[in-house]
Copies of this chain bind each other. A is one copy, B any other.
Amino acid sequence: MTAARAVTTTPKRRGAVSRGDGQPPSAPLELTLQAEDYLKAIYELEREGDAAGTNALADRLDIAAASVSGMLQRLARLGLVKTERYHGTRLTAAGRAVALQLIRRHRIIESYLVARLGFAWDDVHDEAERLEHAASPQLIEAMARVLGNPTADPHGAPIPTASGEIAERELASLAALDVGASARVAGVNGRDPRLLRYLGERGIRPGVKVRIESREPFDGPIVVTVGREKQAISPGAAAHVRVEPKAP
């Protein structure tokens, strides 16, 4: 068969996940599931430090750094991020709005699964991770309504409002507290259900009071009092526990 030139004649929009939220006035802004994941990850990394580094992103998303570079350029083209060549990436206002909506979806879904469908708090992350890309705003708001518009998810993380405001508290990591300090557990970061279960079994859950008893050198265990029991946990695990420091 001989050559046939394909004359590009405005094909229709493809690849993006339509969530059926018809916004006729202005921007359609349909993002792919992957793009959404990047934005959320950038948001989180920005919160944990400064601009999100390419390798850190690659690590978190389990994607090769080179691929991340490429995607960041695409997101920059869409006006969702601002990348400073060789110096990390930040969300623009538009990008942050998308990320916050995703986080709202995620946390409401987690809350709903635990409250209404009998899921364990340590077993909802992956489910929410998938559903957050598929759920329409109507579904999310219906879930929120049924739950009485919760303000925190089962891990203690605050839920952004529908208009994208989030009550970020000043939190420290359990691993960073001094010996003798007391704190209230605000939440537990982390995607790994085993870690969540492990901590949960030791009583480390949102709302619980803890006190640092001692810490061993050379990355040794941290001993904390939880309720009336003492628990020795690794600094690695403790790093995922977000706490609200208290006066002794």
Asked if A49 is at the interface of the complex by the 8 Å CB criterion, the answer is no
Q: Which residue of chain B is the closest to A136 with respect to CB atoms?
A: B127
Within the complex, which residue of B19, B118, B146 is in contact with A130, where a contact is CB–CB below 8 Å? B19
CB–CB A142/B130 < 8 A: no
Partner of A131, one of B113, B131, B138: B131
- A20-B127, A116-B116 given; name 5 further pairs at CB < 8 Å: A20-B126, A119-B142, A126-B136, A130-B135, A134-B134
* Residue of chain B at shortest CB distance from A20: B126
A143 partner, pick from B18, B117, B138, beta carbons under 8 A: B117
A119 to B140, CA, bound (A): 12
A155 on the B face (CB < 8 A)? no
B-chain residues with CB within 8 Å of residue A136 when the two chains form the complex: 126-127, 130
Within 8 A of B (CB), among A16-52: 17-20
Structural contact, B113 and A139, CB atoms closer than 8 A: yes
Closest to A139 in B: B127
**A139–B131 alpha-carbon span in the complex (Å):** 11
In the complex, the 7 A-B pairs of residues with the closest C-beta atoms, listed nearest first: A130-B134, A134-B134, A117-B142, A20-B126, A131-B134, A127-B136, A127-B139
Tell me the complex Cα distance, A20–B127, Å.
8
